[in-house]
Amino acid sequence: HGPPSVVAEDFNQDGLPDLAVAQAKLSKVVILINDSTGIPKVSYSFDVERGPHIIDGVDLNQDKITDLVVGSLGSHTLSVILANGNGTFKEPNVVKVGRFPHYRAYGDWNGDGHVDAAVAVAGEESVEVLLGNGMGDLKPLARYVSGVNPHGLTSEDFNQDGELDLAVSNRTSGGIAIFLGDGSGTFQKTYSVITEQDGITLSHGDFDKDGIIDLALVSASSHSLIFYKGDGKGNFHPW
C-alpha cells in the first residue's frame, strides 16, 4: 500500500530502535517494535489525516521521549502525535497548514527554549513557520515565499550569528532560497542559490571540515547529489 516514509526511534524506551511507517493509501501510521531480534514486529496502527506523506520523529513536548509529526498531502495538515513512552501514542492533534506540505525542519526559532517547526508548502510556493509551546502544540506564525514547488528544507546557522536559518529547495523553479533568522521567529529571504536542478531533498553539514556549514541537494531530474559550499555569511556556491 505504498508506505512513502519511515522513521526509526526508540518509542518504548528499551534502548532499541523501533519504526513508525506512514501508509499513504491507508491513511495510517504503523508502529513496529524491536524485540532485539533485529526484525521489528508490527505492534499496532492508528489513523491519521488523508494522504500521509512524510513522518518525522521529534520531541515536541520536551519529556525526552520522541513524538511523531506526520504531513498529509491529501488534507494539507500536520498531525502532531505525542508518545506515551511505552510504544503507544496519544490521539493526533491536527494542525492546518498550506497546501501540499512536504519536508520539515525543527529548531528553536524564537529563543523561548521550545521546539518550533517549518514546512515547505508546495501549493503556496512558500515555507511556513510554526511556533511550539513546549507542550506539543504547533501554531502557524507566518509564510515566506520561496519559489515554485518547494520540497526540500533544512535548518542551521548559515551566517554564524548564533541564530537558526532556513534553506528551501524549489523543484519546479530550481534554486535554493535562503532565509536568515533573527532569533525572534522572523525570517528574511536574502537570495536564492542559482541552480537549474530540481531539488527534491536538501541537507546540510560541514562537508569539508572548515567550520562552515555547506548544503547538499538531491536532484530528481539528473539523479545526482550536488554540493554547495558555504562562506559563513549565508551565501552558497556550487562546489
Please compute the mean of the pLDDT values over residues 130-159 and round it to a whole number: 97
User: Which tens digit of pLDDT belongs to each residue from 62-115?
Assistant: 999 999 999 999 999 999 999 999 999 999 999 999 999 999 999 999 999 999
Q: Is the pLDDT of residue 228 over 60?
A: yes
Q: Is the pLDDT of residue 1 over 50?
A: no
Mention every residue, 6+ apart, whose C-beta is less than 8 A from residue 206. 212, 213, 214
| Domain residue ranges in the chain | 1-96, 101-238
- Tell the CATH topology of 101-238: Methylamine Dehydrogenase; Chain H (2.130.10)
pTM, entire model? 0.93
Task: Name which residue leads in pLDDT, 132 or 198.
Answer: 132
- Tell the CATH topology of 1-96: Lipocalin (2.40.128)
Please compute the mean of the pLDDT values over residues 57-61 and round it to a whole number: 98
Q: Is the pLDDT of residue 41 over 60?
A: yes
pLDDT-derived band at 195, boundaries 50, 70, 90: confident
For residue 43, give the C-alpha cell.
Answer: 505492534
User: Which tens digit of pLDDT belongs to each residue from 145-188?
Assistant: 999 999 999 999 999 999 999 999 998 888 899 999 999 999 99
Q: What percent of the chain has pLDDT over 70?
A: 98
The pLDDT, as a whole number, for residue 221 is 81
Please compute the mean of the pLDDT values over residues 120-133 and round it to a whole number: 98
d(CA 204, CA 58): 18
Q: How far is CA 221 from CA 16, 171, 213, in A?
A: 37, 10, 25
pLDDT-derived band at 3, boundaries 50, 70, 90: low
